[in-house]
A and B are shown apart, each in its own frame.
Chain A
């Protein structure tokens, strides 16, 4: 188990390899369909959001206000990442993103951008909404809430030991490609 802590420098990120189990402590910014489309079409980051050496989490969390009017994340599993494939490479390069968390993996353009800029794709456990919500220790802020609504807003989340697996690294390797190739070969033997 590798413990990845902020700041997420290029050096730390390039040291990660496909198959590494990682626990993240630091800040994550959520972003899903609306945010990716907005940023890719030239939208500006709201003041306070800095993605340089940052991590984007493909997640539409369920967030409620508790009795003391504090935000509380009640469910926060990853959503399918491949929908952001048209936008992700450009966003990694333009904003200096170091990590993308999601599920299901991403395609060739994102993999190439990870290699060129020094970024990784980190796979969270799909469906594990409760376990992952427990790793969020604080909601630091929320941006673009009025524009996009709660699930699509940018949530700034403090996380502690948030578990992920590196499935696309900064050296051009993708676990998704490798498992697909290996399982295709195994299947061919059994038909």
Chain B
């Protein structure tokens, strides 16, 4: 038996069927905030029931089990090739067991071979660190919410957004407005200010690895996060775009250096069915602790 592969199958199962505690707490708070008897409140009630039912039946929270994104932090010398092989095998197995839908399509032929494995699928992001710890995080990123992500290039004249933090605020709020309920809101934003186009989006996604209740250590970004969360929830878009008091569950922002000629703001939108989990592994690949 391949211990690492089994651990990754269990990581996929739990990610697909169970919402992390920090997200569930935030959804519960949002439910309590909605006015009684509104369609927003009943939307949250169905969301709550769905979370409980998926966990109880160990079945996918949402049938779109998304793009499968692994983030792996390991010590110098950790065998990335062996990890990726185990990861691909785990994804194939997890699909057979129904933890993942047959969800990966050849972009040229339209063919779906039912394995969820192919060029770029699943995706692995490896990072080395000096410690001996092996941490594996997994995000299942649905398509509906991925489609409402956006990348802005500042200045954005139509939005009167200059190359400063106020300009960033304007375009991030525009992304919320344009998304309405289409990304299965209430959602969570991961944002990167700066970078090139590819790293900007990449860093916007890694912001989704932060817990919803953490605070940004950079004071300007912390203020911006709190401001956008508050302002977005005053817009009245509500769950599913039905109208209501909760439009976003969280906002996470980082900055990256840019070249003088470019100023990108990249926004990734995560739906309420926020599937992320993580594990610490020992050298053999056994699960030691869960991260969320």
Contact = CB atoms under 8 A, between A and B. Distances in A.
A165 B39 contact: yes
A62 B180 contact: no
Interface string A130-173: 11001000000000000000000000000000010101000000
Leading 9 A-B pairs by shortest Cβ distance: A75-B63, A126-B184, A127-B273, A127-B62, A130-B53, A183-B235, A128-B50, A129-B63, A131-B50
A74 B98 contact: yes
B242 interface: yes
A80 B241 CA distance: 13
A128 B39 contact: no
Nearest to B44: A125
A85 B155 CA distance: 33
Q: Which of A61, A123, A128, A131 has the most chain B CB atoms inside 10 A of its CB?
A: A128
Contacts of A21: 39, 42
A165 B98 CA distance: 30
A68 interface: no
A168 to B, nearest CB: 12
Nearest to A150: B102
Contact of A76 (B39, B49, B63, B180): B63
Contacts of A184: 177
B144 interface: yes
Chain A interface main SS type: mixed
Interface in A70-99: 74-77, 80, 82
A62 B101 contact: yes
Contact of B144 (A104, A123, A134, A175): A104
Interface of A: 19, 21, 60-62, 64, 74-77, 80, 82, 103-105, 123, 125-131, 134, 163, 165, 167, 175-176, 178-180, 182-184, 186-187, 190-191
Interface of B: 39, 42-43, 46-47, 49-50, 53-54, 57, 59-64, 98, 101, 142, 144, 147, 160, 170, 173, 177, 180-182, 184, 231, 234-238, 240-243, 271-273
A187 to B, nearest CB: 6
A127 B50 contact: yes
B49 A131 contact: yes
Contact of A105 (B43, B64, B236, B241): B241
A116 B290 CA distance: 55
A131 B46 contact: yes
Contact of B234 (A103, A130, A178, A186): A186
A175 B240 CA distance: 11
Contacts of B42: 21, 163, 165
Contacts of A127: 47, 50, 61-62, 64, 142, 184, 271-273
A76 B181 CA distance: 19
A125 B63 contact: no
A186 B236 contact: yes
Contact of A126 (B101, B144, B177): B144
Q: Which of B61, B62, B144, B240 has the most chain A CB atoms inside 10 A of its CB?
A: B240
A130 B243 contact: no
A132 to B, nearest CB: 8
B46 A175 contact: no
Contacts of A64: 98
A180 B180 contact: yes
Q: Which of A60, A123, A131, A184 has the most chain B CB atoms inside 10 A of its CB?
A: A131
A179 B242 CA distance: 7
A183 B61 contact: no
B242 A175 contact: yes
A156 B86 CA distance: 40
A129 B62 contact: yes
Contact of A175 (B182, B234, B243): B243
B234 A128 contact: no
Contacts of B235: 183, 186-187
Given A21-B42, A62-B63, A131-B53, A179 B180 contact: yes
Contacts of A176: 180-181, 241
A130 B62 CA distance: 7
Nearest to A19: B39
B237 A77 contact: no
A49 B63 CA distance: 26
B81 to A, nearest CB: 33
